[in-house]
Structure 1
Amino acid sequence: MKRLAILGAGGHGKVVADTAECCGWEHVDFFADGWPAQTTNGSWSVVGDTSLLIEQLSHYDGVVVAIGHNSIRKAKLDELARVGAPLVSLVHPAATVSRRASIGLGSVVFAGVVVNADAVIGPGAILNTGCSVDHDCVLGECVHVSPGARLAGGVRVGNLSWIGIGASVRQLIRIGAGVTVGAGAVAVSDVEDSVTVLGVPAKVFFRT
């Protein structure tokens, strides 16, 4: 029996678990730092916290971090990597991923996603439901592309950036590190590091 541990037991985790089952994982357990107060996540059991997961790594064939916040997800992935956790990626069978694209370790790719030729997806990414990443895009570490977002060809997205739901990025644009592209925004020019951009066309709303 293939056993998967998922760290992070919120709504995003439910989609990760459902994707895992569609990928053939036969048994899924959740771990969350809210345990033991939280013992279930929808149809699945929460059986421990991060420390207990690390103690029980030998019980699992794979581990995925299902935390939507990019920085927290990266910290947990780094912690698990240091102790030799068997980190895996998940690609939903209803996603379309070119055989010439690459998906980084610890990433999740949900139903309806399209990743085209020579796209490079960094480790720990979330490609959320129905988004598209076109040819030659390069996404850094722990990027989140939200449902329905669109990246045209040759876009580069820096580490820990978040592309909001329904947002669009024009071809060959560079999105910096630690950027938030707001819901429905349209980025038609390069975006510097550590800013939030909103609107059509997208403009800097604030800097962090």
Structure 2
Amino acid sequence: MAFIRPYKPSDFEGMSHICRETLNPALLPSIPGRRLAPYVWTHQYTHLSPATCFVVDDGSGRPVGYCIGCPDIAAFVAAYDSYTTQVLDPSPEVTRPDDLELKEPLFLPDGSVNAVVLSRLAYNPHLLLVDGNADLLAEYKATMHIDLLDEYQGQGWGKQLISRFVESIRDVPQRDGGVSKGIWIGVAGDNGKVVPFYEKQGFKIKQRPVESKTYFMVREF
């Protein structure tokens, strides 16, 4: 029988599988997108903040869904070198880009995924979470990702995972001494079908001073 438990290191490959199978439509058919996605949106959270990462176990030890994230993005970014040196650099799936600060579109003119940009996002947490998000980070200092394999969707696991995650981060002290108002997440514009799910879990679309194709959503504690 399936149940929720904390993440453990032996889940690494299972987490990769979940991330790859639940990618948004624009990335799903891309070979480099599928290869690199777990290093951009999954493994840094389980490496740097394992205590706030939870999985749905199918009852045999196999993870079939997860809710992962961190309670303090500033602390997460400050510790990111550990992820770079212990996970990214040794991985044969990720190549370190020459210029980690360069900002380029994720998609090339022909619509294909720019693998260098994905690698750059994996290596540079500022590009991934900080740049252009000062208004969000001023109030919402936590972030998360949730994914479930198709056969485990629609059964209440998402709600339970988010509740478990929220309880794990609610009272964590912030690196800057401030207080987090809650969680913010980004939903790709071509994956808008998931917005109603998040709204049912208490998230609201956040109006921002910058235009974006991404839906930014927040949930207060």
User: Do Structure 1 and Structure 2 share a fold, with TM-score over 0.5?
Assistant: no
Q: Identify the TM-score tier after normalising by the shorter chain.
A: under 0.3
Q: Which has the higher strand share?
A: 1
The structure whose RCO (Cα within 8 Å, separation 6+) is larger is 2
